[in-house]
Amino acid sequence: MERVLITGALGQLGHEFIKFFIKKNIYVLASDIRRPEEKLNCDFEIIDAMDNKRLNVVVKKYNINTIYHLVAVLSATGEKNPFKSWKVNMESFQNIIEVSIENKIKKIFWPSSIAVFGTKSNLENVSQDPILNPNTIYGISKLAGEKLISYYNKKYDLDIRSLRYPGIISFESKPGGGTTDYVMEMIESLKKGEDYICFLEKDTRLPMLYIEDAILGTIKFMSSKKKNLNVKESYNITGFSITPEELELKLKENGCIGNVIYRPDYRNEIAKTWPKNINDKISKEDWNWKANFGLNSTLEEAFK
């Protein structure tokens, strides 16, 4: 029986993974550095993933055998404090590895990101294995993590798995500190009839994935037979790619009346080093990945 610990469980992805595990009657222990504002319907522990000892105690206490390590300082916040970002992203990752070795954790999920690529890869239709030269501290930490995954899996016979998430679009749980967050901010403002000041240029194209595809895809990936997984670091996955202007037009087609004012800031510089489109062919071949949501079906969810 799986007994799952989620770190950083109160973030955008954590909330949705919690709901999924509860629905499937899989034991889940949520953890974060702050208490939840609403009732979670699962066990909860305060854990700072930088605190190795505390992690170890909790993993033992609850007989955890699977970890979803979702703690991360994302791209935009990371640029404001790169030292802290590196420390949080890497130290917590190292702690998870050490605790996993000691407690013989069966499977670990750790998200990577489109931030790993950088401008030396052709930003159109980015393949699984291009030259990687990330420009943000977030991307650098994700790339380091990818390399450590294949190293530790081999050296300690662990099963750490990873997907390179594009921007995740969700309407119930909120993102925080990312470059792709504009999508949810724009939808929320325009739905209310308010204007939105967009921090990206109108034609900055980025790959996105609707939350349901992200959760179900990740679960499918984590349940796949290890022998089918040929990529030893992190797999590309994507849903669809959009620009802010395309989103604005779609929202207006849906009856929204607020306007978008384009005032690009440092986050547009980050986005310009990220892929416009991702090629996820290898995920499709190796573990049968398929996204079900495009822009239209994602927006249908926003207007439900």
Among 128, 180, 236, 268, binds ligand SER (CB under 6 A): 180
Among 11, 14, 118, 178, binds ligand SER (CB under 6 A): 178
Q: How many residues bind ligand SER (CB under 6 A)?
A: 11
Q: Helix 137-156 crosses helix 82-102 at what angle (to 10 degrees)?
A: 20
Q: Which are the catalytic amino acids?
A: 138
SS3 content of the chain, % helix, strand, coil (to 5): 40, 15, 40
Assign residue 63 a region (left: φ > 0; alpha: ψ between -120 and 50; beta: otherwise): left
**According to the binding rule CB under 6 A, does residue 113 interact with ligand SER?**
yes
**According to the binding rule CB under 6 A, does residue 179 interact with ligand SER?**
yes
The region of 28-36, 174-182, 242-250, 293-301 touching ligand SER under the rule CB under 6 A is 174-182
Give the per-residue contact string, 198-237, with ligand SER (x = CB under 6 A; - = no): ----------------------------------------
Query: In 143-175, which positions are buried (b, 16+ CB within 10 angstroms) versus exposed (e)?
Result: bbbbebbeebbeeeebbbbbbbbbbbbbbebeb
> How far is the C-alpha of 61 from the C-alpha of 302, rounded, in Å?
40
User: To the nearest whole angstrom, how small is the minimum distance from the Cβ of residue 168 to ligand SER?
Assistant: 6
* φ, ψ (nearest 5 deg) of residue 169: -105, 120
**According to the binding rule CB under 6 A, does residue 239 interact with ligand SER?**
no
> How far is the C-alpha of 101 from the C-alpha of 157, rounded, in Å?
9
The region of 24-32, 176-184, 211-219, 247-255 touching ligand SER under the rule CB under 6 A is 176-184
> How far is the C-alpha of 41 from the C-alpha of 39, rounded, in Å?
6
The region of 40-48, 148-156, 178-186, 222-230 touching ligand SER under the rule CB under 6 A is 178-186
CA-angle at 131, arms to 129 and 137, nearest 5°? 110
Give the DSSP letter of residue 278.
B
Tell me which residues in 55-84 interact with ligand SER (CB under 6 A): 74-75
**According to the binding rule CB under 6 A, does residue 115 interact with ligand SER?**
yes
Given the rule CB under 6 A, which residues bind ligand SER?
Answer: 74-75, 113-115, 138, 165, 167, 178-180
